[in-house]
Structure 1
Amino acid sequence: MQPISKIITSVLLPALLLGIKPIYAQKQTFEIKNGQFLDKGKPVQIHSGEMHYARIPKPYWRHRLQMLKAMGLNTVATYVFWNYHNTAPGVWDFTSENRNLAEFIKLAKEEGLYVILRPGPYACAEWEFGGYPWWLQKNKDLVIRTNNKPFLDSCKVYITKLAEQVSSLQVSKGGPIIMVQVENEFGSYVSQRQDIPIEQHRAYNQTIQQMLTGAGFTGPFFTSDGSWLFEGGVISGVLPTANGEGNIDNLKKAVDKYHDGKGPYMVAEFYPGWLDHWAEPFVRIGTDEIVKQTEKYLQNGVHFNFYMAHGGTNFGFTSGANYNEEHDIQPDITSYDYDAPVSESGWATPKYMALRELMKKYVKYPVPAIPAQISVITIPDIPLSRTVDLADLKKDIKPVSNDSPLTFEALNQGYGYVLYSKRFTQPLSGTLHLNGLRDYALVYVNGKKVGELNRVDKKYDLPVTIPFNGTLEILVENMGRINYGAEIPNNTKGIISPVLINDFEITGNWQMYSLPLISVPDLQRYPPKNTTGKPTFYTGTFELDKIGDTFLDMGSWGKGIVFINGHHLGRYWNAGPQQTLYVPGCWLTKGKNEVVIFEQQNDVAQTVLKTVEKPVLDK
Structure 2
Amino acid sequence: MKLFCYLLLFLLLPFSVNAQSKSTFEIKDGHFYRNGKVTSLLSGEMHYARIPHQYWRHRLQMMKGMGLNTVATYVFWNYHEPTPGQWDFKGDKNLAEFIKIAGEEGMMVILRPGPYVCAEWEFGGYPWWIQNVKGLEIRRDNAEFLKYTKLYIDRLYKEVAGLQCTKGGPVVMVQCENEFGSYVSQRKDIPLEEHRRYNAKIKQQLADAGFEVPLFTSDGSWLFEGGATEGALPTANGENNIENLKKVVNQYHNGKGPYMVAEFYPGWLSHWAEPFPQVDASGIARQTEKYLKNDVSFNVYMVHGGTNFGFTSGANYDKKRDIQPDLTSYDYDAPISEAGWVTPKYDSIRNVIKKYVGYTVPKAPAAIPVIEIPSIKLTKVANVLAFAEKQKAVSSDSPLTFEQLNQGYGYVLYTRHFNQPISGTLEIPGLRDYAVVYVDGEKVGVLNRNTKTYEMEIEVPFNAELQILVENMGRINYGSEIIHNTKGIISPVKIAGAEINGGWEMYQLPMSEEPDLAKLKGDVYENTSANMKKLANCPVVYEGTFDLNETGDTFLDMENWGKGIVFVNGKNIGRYWHVGPQQTLYLPGVWLKKGSNKIVIFEQLNLQPKTEVSAVKTPVLMKQM
In the superposition, the TM-score normalised over structure 2's length comes to 0.95
Residue by residue, what CA displacement relative to the aligned partner does 1:117-170 show, whole Å, maximum 9, x if unpaired?
Answer: 000000000000000000111123000110000000000000010000002100
Q: Residues 145 and 22 from structure 1, CA distance in 2 versus in 1: closer, same or farther, beyond 3 angstroms?
A: closer
Provide the residue aligned with 2:506 in structure 1: 512
Structure 1 residue 22: Cα displacement: 7.3
* C-alpha deviation, 1:380, in angstroms: 2.5
For the residues of structure 1 that align with 2:576 and 2:16, how far apart are their CA atoms? 56
SS of 2:517's equivalent in the other structure is: coil
Aligned match for 2:480, one of 481, 486, 508? 486
The residue identity in structure 1 corresponding to 2:363 is A
Q: Please say if 1:109 is aligned against 2:103.
A: yes
SS at the partner of 2:450? coil
The alpha-carbon distance between structure 1 residues 391 and 245, as it changes in their structure 2 partners (threshold 3 A), is same
Cross-structure match for 1:588 = 592
SS across alignment from 2:43: strand
Give the SS at the match of 2:606.
coil
Is 2:50 the partner of 1:55? Answer: yes
Q: Which amino acid aligns with 1:588?
A: L
Give 1:184's aligned residue: 178
CA gap 1:463/1:14 in 2 versus in 1, 3 angstroms: closer
* Aligned position for 1:4: none
Work out the CA distance in 1 between the residues paired with 2:21 and 2:226. 40
Q: 2:206 aligns with which of 201, 204, 212?
A: 212
Counterpart-to-counterpart distance in 1, 2:418 and 2:9: 89
Partner of 1:280: 274
1:566 to 544, 554, 570: 570
Match of 2:582 in 1: 578
Alpha-carbon distance in structure 2 between the residues aligned to 1:394 and 1:25 = 61
How many pairs align? 607
CA contact (8 A) 2:18 2:168 kept: no
Tell me the CA shift for residue 90 of structure 1.
Answer: 1.5
Alpha-carbon distance in 2 for matches of 1:19, 1:256: 43
CA contact (8 A) 2:427 2:455 kept: yes
Secondary structure at 1:37's aligned position in 2?
strand
2:381 is aligned with 1:387: yes
- How far apart are 1:19 and its partner, in Å? 13
Coordinate RMSD, CA, aligned:
1.6
Which residue of 57, 60, 68 maps to 1:65?
A: 60
Name the counterpart of 2:75.
80
In the alignment, the residues of structure 2 paired with residue 615 and residue 394 of structure 1 have an alpha-carbon distance, to the nearest angstrom, of 34
Question: Which runs of structure 2 are paired with 1:92-491 in the superposition (5 Å)?
Answer: 92-95=87-90, 97-491=91-485
What's the secondary structure of 2:115's corresponding residue?
coil
**1:6 aligned residue:** none
What is the rounded CA distance, in whole Å, between the counterparts of 1:186 and 1:292 in structure 2?
29
State the shift of 1:370 in Å. 0.9
Task: Report how far residue 395 of structure 1 moved.
Answer: 3.6
My pick for the range that moved more, 85-94 or 181-190, is: 85-94
1:34 to 8, 22, 29: 29
2:528 corresponds to: none
2:39 corresponding residue in structure 1: 44
Partner letter of residue 25 of structure 2? F
Give the match's secondary structure for 2:322: coil
CA distance in 2, matches of 1:223, 1:168: 23
The reply to whether residue 542 of structure 1 matches residue 546 of structure 2 is yes
In 2, Cα distance between equivalents of 1:567 and 1:237: 43
Structure 1 residues 125, 553: closer, same or farther in 2, change over 3 A?
same
**Distance change >3 Å, CA 398–CA 241, structure 1 → 2:** same
Cα offset for 1:21?
A: 5.9
Which AA in structure 1 matches 2:71? V
The alpha-carbon deviation at position 24 of structure 1 amounts to 5.5
Q: Secondary structure at the match of 1:307?
A: strand
The one-letter code sitting in structure 1 at the alignment partner of 2:146 is: L
Amino acid across the alignment from 1:236: E
Give the deviation of 1:27 after TM superposition. 3.8
Distance 1:140 1:22, change over 3 A: closer
CA contact (8 A) 2:382 2:542 kept: yes
Which residue identity is paired with 2:276?
F
**2:558 equivalent among 554, 558, 563:** 554
Residue 391 of structure 1, CA deviation? 2.3
Taking only the aligned residue pairs, the percentage that are identical comes to: 63
TM-score computed with the length of structure 1 as normaliser: 0.96
Q: Contact 2:435–2:446 (CA<8 Å) still a contact in 1?
A: yes
Query: Is the 2:374–2:616 contact (alpha carbons within 8 Å) kept by the matching residues of 1?
Result: no
Q: For structure 1, list consecutive stretches of 5 or more residues without a partner in the other structure.
A: 1-9
Contact persistence 2:176–2:216 (CA under 8 A) = yes
Q: Which amino acid aligns with 1:294?
A: T
**Secondary structure of 1:116 counterpart:** strand
Q: Deviations over 1:60-85 (max 9, x none)?
A: 00000000000000000000000000
> Per the alignment, in what secondary structure is the counterpart of residue 289 of structure 1?
helix
SS at structure 1 position matched to 2:199: helix
CA–CA separation in structure 2 for the residues paired with 1:445 and 1:539: 26
**Which amino acid is 2:270 matched to?**
D
Partners of 1:254 and 1:31 in 2: how far apart? 21
CA distance in 1, matches of 2:17, 2:165: 18
Following the alignment from structure 1 to structure 2, what is the Cα–Cα distance between the partners of residues 171 and 503? 64
Which whole-Å CA distance do the structure 2 matches of 1:336 and 1:578 have between them? 10
Are the aligned partners of 2:434 and 2:449 in contact in 1 as well (CA < 8 Å)?
yes
CA contact (8 A) 2:166 2:213 kept: no
Letter of the 2:321 counterpart: H
Q: Which 4+ runs in 1 deviate beyond 2 A?
A: 18-27
